[in-house]
Amino acid sequence: MTAVTEHSAAKTLNEQLGERDLAARLALVASLGGRAVFTTSLGIEDQVITAAIGLNRLPIDVATLETGRLFKETVDLIDETEERFGIEITRFHPQKDDLDEFIARYGLNGFYESVEARHACCGARKLKPLARALEGASFWITGLRRGQSGNRADTPFAEYDAERNLIKVNPLADWDLETINAYVADNAVPVNPLHARGYPSIGCEPCTRAIKPGEPERAGRWWWENDEKRECGLHVPEAAIPSLNSSSL
Ligand code: SF4
């Protein structure tokens, strides 16, 4: 399929998804043909999507990026979630050569020293494993919500991702936290205990802190950086991350 037809398909899908509930949104994507992959970070939004896939037995692959720097609570939750919903969550790990190269150049925790080093670490531990997780996929399902941060405020239900040549689907784009919490309670969805300790958004342990009352949901991610639009690179075009392009990682 060409980029033009993919754009057009994504636009049509975006309109169709808005009219459906979560299970129907996911079922529609699964029915379109082509491999659909959901990547979960085990955050509360992602747990809702995993629950909907598992409870409705939808033919969608579930994958996670096991970066090697996750909280123990997050790693434990992978097993618990598989058991609760009877599904398999495929773990994608960073490759040793990439980690060796990063550590030799920046040091294990060199990501605190510069944005370039931080993007290089995310490149090795997240972006490269993500590329492997999405190999051959036609659809990439994520738990992005418009309410998570200012730069996610325009998140569509579906959009063409030219870089990865697939359609990215965000079935919770219009959900608020209240709706998320209600779904979790109604469906006995296991959630990361860190959420109750002030971590609404949970990534790698050295790069995530609890937030203070009134702070934005993602204020605890890479808190030492000043850029309001800080992201790990999973959900921004690679061209917008100069240090990833200049790095071999
Ligand atoms: S979030 Fe932190 S530890 Fe995790 S991959 Fe990115 S820089 Fe590395």
Torsion angle of the four alpha carbons 89, 14, 29, 37, in this order, in degrees rounded to the nearest 10: -30
Task: Among 98, 207, 241, say which to mutate for ligand 1: greatest number of ligand atoms within 8 Å of CB.
Answer: 207
The pLDDT of 170-195, averaged and rounded, is 97
With CA atoms as reference, report the closest residue to 67 among 105, 118, 106, 123: 123
**Buried b or exposed e, range 207-223, using 16+ CB within 10 angstroms:** bbeebeeeeebbbbbbe
Average pLDDT rounded to a whole number, residues 85-109: 98
The encoded tokens of residue 225 equal 């950086």
Q: Please report the atom of ligand 1 found closest to the CA of residue 126.
A: 5
Is the pLDDT reported for residue 167 higher than 90?
A: yes
- Give 23 or 219, the one with higher predicted confidence: 23
Q: 184 alpha carbon to ligand 1 midpoint, in Å?
A: 27
| Domains within the chain, CATH numbers bracketed | 3-246 (3.40.50.620)
Say if residue 30 carries a ligand binding annotation: no
Threshold 0.85, pTM exceeds = yes
Residue 246: is its pLDDT beyond 90? no
Is the pLDDT score of 243 beyond 60? no
Name the closest-CA residue to atom 1, ligand 1.
204
What SS3 class is residue 226? coil
Predicted local distance difference test score (pLDDT) of residue 237 = 62
Please give the average per-residue pLDDT across 55-79, as a whole number: 98
Q: Tell me the mean pLDDT in the region 166-170.
A: 97
Average pLDDT score over the chain: 91
Q: What is the pLDDT of residues 48-60, one digit of tens each?
A: 999 999 999 999 9
The arithmetic mean of pLDDT across residues 203-224, rounded, is 91
Of the chain, the end-to-end C-alpha distance in Å amounts to 30
Q: Is pLDDT of 239 > 60? A: no
Calpha distance 134→61 (Å, rounded) = 10
Return the percentage of the chain with pLDDT > 90, whole number: 78
208 alpha carbon to ligand 1 midpoint, in Å?
9
Q: What lines the ligand 1 site, CB under 6 Å?
A: 67, 69, 111, 118, 121-122, 125-126, 203-204, 206-207, 232
The CA-based dihedral angle spanning residues 127, 131, 132, 134, taken in that order and rounded to the nearest 10 degrees: 130
pLDDT tier at 242 (50, 70, 90 boundaries)?
A: very low
CA of 143 to the centre of ligand 1 (A): 19
Supply the residues annotated as catalytic: 232
CA 118 to centroid of ligand 1, rounded, Å: 7
Residue nearest to atom 3 of ligand 1 (CA): 204
Cα separation, 104 vs 67, in Å, equals 18
pLDDT of residue 238: 56
Average pLDDT over residues 164-192: 97
* More confident of the two residues 157 and 19: 157
Query: What integer pLDDT is reported at residue 7 of this predicted model?
Result: 85
Lowest mean pLDDT among 2-11, 29-38, 56-65: 2-11
- For residue 122, say whether it is annotated as part of any ligand binding site: yes
